[in-house]
């Protein structure tokens, strides 16, 4: 990925979080936004199980207070 695309994605992510802060309760606002192509099946549906696995590999964004 080149620097311009990375900068544009960072600005877009900041805009998304800013929008969410203005419309949602604080506990719903995402701490981060991830961009990239979604893995898809042969029929074009998102591979949810693979996305769940990748999310677990990324680890928690923050620790729960519970």
**What pLDDT shows up at residue 66?**
46
Q: Which helix (H) or strand (E) holds 55?
A: helix 48-58
* pLDDT score recorded for residue 34: 82
As given in the structure block, the two tokens for residue 31 are 């701490």
Give the helix/strand (H/E) hosting 10: helix 3-23
pLDDT at residue number 64? 53
Mean pLDDT score, 40-63 = 88
Average pLDDT over residues 46-56: 93
How is the chain split into domains, by residue range?
3-58
Q: What is the CATH number assigned to the segment(s) 3-58?
A: 3.30.300.30
What pLDDT digit, counting tens, does each position of 1-47 carry? Answer: 556 667 888 889 999 999 999 999 999 998 888 888 999 999 999 99
C-alpha 23 chain-centroid distance: 18
Please give the structure tokens belonging to residue 19: 């929008």
* 51 within 8 A of 39, measured Cβ to Cβ: yes
């Amino acid at each position: 990925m080149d620097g311009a695309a990375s900068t544009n994605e960072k600005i877009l992510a900041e805009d998304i979080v800013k929008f969410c802060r203005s419309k949602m309760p604080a506990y719903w606002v995402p701490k981060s936004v991830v961009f990239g192509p979604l893995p898809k099946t042969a029929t074009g549906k998102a591979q949810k199980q693979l996305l769940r696995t990748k999310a677990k590999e990324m680890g928690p964004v923050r620790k729960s207070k519970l």
